[in-house]
Amino acid sequence: MRLFILVLSLGVVGCDARRSVDGFDRTAREAVAARRWTEAEVAAERALLLDPDYRFEREMIVGAAAFARSVVSEAAAEMPNAAPALFDASIRQAQTAREAFDAARRLRPDVESARRNLERAVRRIEVLTTKRREAEEARKNAPKRPRPVPKEGGSGEKGTEIQGTTDATIEIATGETPDGARSVLERVARGQAEKRTGRLERRLRPDGTTERDW
């Protein structure tokens, strides 16, 4: 009697497990159809825990999810001014898809869809690798943007800071021609000389008063 009850209990548990696997499988397939990849992967993992024979289906779902993510990452990498390194994520996801489809093909060599998916993933890796290399070369060969040239003659505008005291430096800083720049220097020099002469005269005043030098 006890043996009968044990066998019956195991049969009930087995039926419940089978129904659970079927439920997770249905959830996974519906999620795949709706492109809800994380939900599909979770359902496939739960089905695999209950039934080791579900590994083929699980590998196919994991491969499909990785392949879809690779497509999204590729689109981001092809945006204007995107760094070539963004292709790396798309390549890694395509490699994950390749590994999953290859595992599915080895589990079920008779299933043509697994083989075709594997071939798609392999081609995708090759294409993405080429795109990544071309993007890197284009970035290296792209002409450098010229630095903005300051406007001349504007009131209150600061010129580009350049080391040295050549006429060209003064021209950029003041907005004047070289001849005009020389006249500026001459006026400054004359003014400084007049100040020195005035200070000297005041120091020598008859009343003995002197001027502080700061």
- Residue spans of the domains in the chain: they are 18-140, 167-203
Among the residue ranges 68-77, 128-137, 144-153, 196-205, the one predicted with the least confidence is 196-205
Q: How far is CA 144 from the centre of its chain?
A: 20
Cα dist from 24 to 15, 61, 64, 84, whole Å: 14, 12, 17, 39
- Between residues 6 and 58, the one the model is more confident about: 58
Which residue shows structure tokens 């005041």?
202
Helices (H), the chain: 2-33, 37-50, 55-77, 87-107, 112-141, 167-174, 178-203
**What's the pLDDT tens digit per position in 192-202?**
655 655 554 55
pTM of the model as a whole: 0.60
Taking Cα atoms as reference points, which of 95, 106, 109, 29 lies closest to residue 63? 95
Q: What are phi and psi of 61, to 5 degrees?
A: -70, -45
Which amino acid type is present at position 203? R
Q: How many CB atoms lie within 10 A of CB 4?
A: 8
Three-state DSSP state, 156:
coil
**What's the pLDDT tens digit per position in 84-93?**
999 999 999 9
Q: What is the mean pLDDT of residues 186-211?
A: 53
Q: How many CB atoms lie within 10 A of CB 125?
A: 19
For residues 114 and 106, what is the distance between their CA atoms, to the nearest angstrom?
A: 9
